[in-house]
Amino acid sequence: MPPGLTPSEQLVNKLGAISFLRLWTHPNPVGKGGKELCDCLVVCGPHIIIFSVKEIEYRDTGDAVGWERWQKSAIEKSVKQIWGAERWLQVADGLIRSDGREITLPPKKDRRFHRITVSLGGRGKVPLKWGDLGHGFVHLLDEYSLEATFNELTTVTDFVRYLSAAESLFERGATPVFMGAGAEDLLALYVQNGPDFGLFDPDTGQPALAFIHEGVWLALTKSADYLARNRDLASSYAWDNLIESFAQDLLTDGMFDMFRKEVTQNELALVAMALQPRCHRANLADAFLEFLRPINARIAARLIVADNDTAFVFTTGDSAEREFRGRELMLRCLVVRGRCKSVKTVIGIATDRPKKGRQGHSSDIVYLHIPH
């Protein structure tokens, strides 16, 4: 973690690295004139998530003055930083991390910005302002909703799909009334009901006035169904570990050069892996680990069609014949793209089968994107 971060900034960056993985999480990136751009930036595929963190102790004055002072320091200043960062990011081609590593931004026409202010210190005593605050929708997380959000939305895709659903909720005219509840309770409705949050009439599609009471999130996390779902998803973190393993090669220049002025094909492959939501990661991890079991040694390859019009091809081969293995992997990916009309992107992963006593191990990754 870069030096100079406040405890609250360290927490946000730690949670971000867990959810979005460290390759795409950038603490205190450098912006215009060498100044800090924001407290945390996530760049993965077309998504750019801007975090601004403010921790201001609320002082109760007994009237609205205390509220207004806290909102100005903890929310309004944070939102101002976010909008300034977005203006710069809209025209920049890349940026520099606080540790000096260069980051290439996605093509300008593809960029999708998501704005989050983490405003701490209100302790649930201050009305929280969020929504379209003048220059686009800004999501607000406080001390109660911060960890709940990161604990539930543990991939880039899961995270931004929730943000988009929350924005759509307000754009479509739904008017939830928070009865002592917070953003974590709204998240619970999303988990239970999907993108409509259960706040729209299923027949007419019209929004309904809904009162959201405190404790919905807490009740959800203690429910048997929720706990069972999380147990079913536990294997998915093997997929995260696989991504991190490839990322380690990237960051140490063991697989390809991170400091090139263009995004490499291998980096795009990792982005495609990281854009898989949690439920698909469970399927991918289970399939990959099952494929590598000795009992399946006679199976030459395994195909899994996943999210985002993406398919994954797993195959094995000896490291001593790595060039041949790489050509075979590419050919298998081309065959999959040709046969699966709904698939636009194919990721191939080749590795050695586990063997006792063997010295040396290598993995190869292929990225194939043919949109038409």
pLDDT, tens only, 342-356: 999 999 999 988 775
> pLDDT tens digit string along 150-161?
999 999 999 999
What pLDDT is recorded for position 329?
93
Domain presence at residue 221: no
Q: Which residue has the tokens 């307000």?
A: 170
Residue 127 sits in a domain of what CATH number?
3.40.91
Domain presence at residue 84: yes
What pLDDT is recorded for position 370?
93
The Cα–Cα gap between 181 and 220 comes to: 14
The Cα–Cα gap between 136 and 83 comes to: 9
What pLDDT is recorded for position 253?
52
In 10 A of CB 362, how many CB atoms?
A: 15
Does one domain contain both 36 and 166? yes
Alpha-helix runs per DSSP H in the chain: 7-20, 64-71, 77-91, 146-152, 156-171, 183-193, 216-221, 224-233, 237-251, 265-274, 278-291, 322-339
Please list the residues that pair with 94 across neighbouring strands: 104
- Using alpha carbons, select from 72, 2, 73 the residue that is nearest to residue 36: 2
Question: What pTM value is reported for the model?
Answer: 0.89
Domain presence at residue 218: no
Percent of the chain residues topping a pLDDT of 90:
51
Domain presence at residue 129: yes
Q: How many domains does the chain have?
A: 2
Contact 74, 121 (CB under 8 A): yes
Does one domain contain both 167 and 253? no
CB-based contacts of 272, cutoff 8 Å, min separation 6: 45, 308, 310, 345, 347, 367
The Cα–Cα gap between 333 and 54 comes to: 47
pLDDT at position 357 over 60: no
Q: Which of 122, 143, 171 is the last residue before a domain boundary?
A: 171
| Residue span of the structural domain in which 79 resides | 7-171
Domain presence at residue 217: no
Distances from the Cα of 283 to the Cαs of 129, 175, 279, in angstroms?
39, 37, 7
Between 108 and 257, the more confident residue is 108
Q: Which of 128, 143, 171 is the last residue before a domain boundary?
A: 171
The Cα–Cα gap between 33 and 21 comes to: 28
- Mean pLDDT is lowest, of 51-65, 101-115, 351-365, for 351-365
Does one domain contain both 246 and 141? no
What pLDDT is recorded for position 216?
93
Both tokens assigned to 101? 């590593």
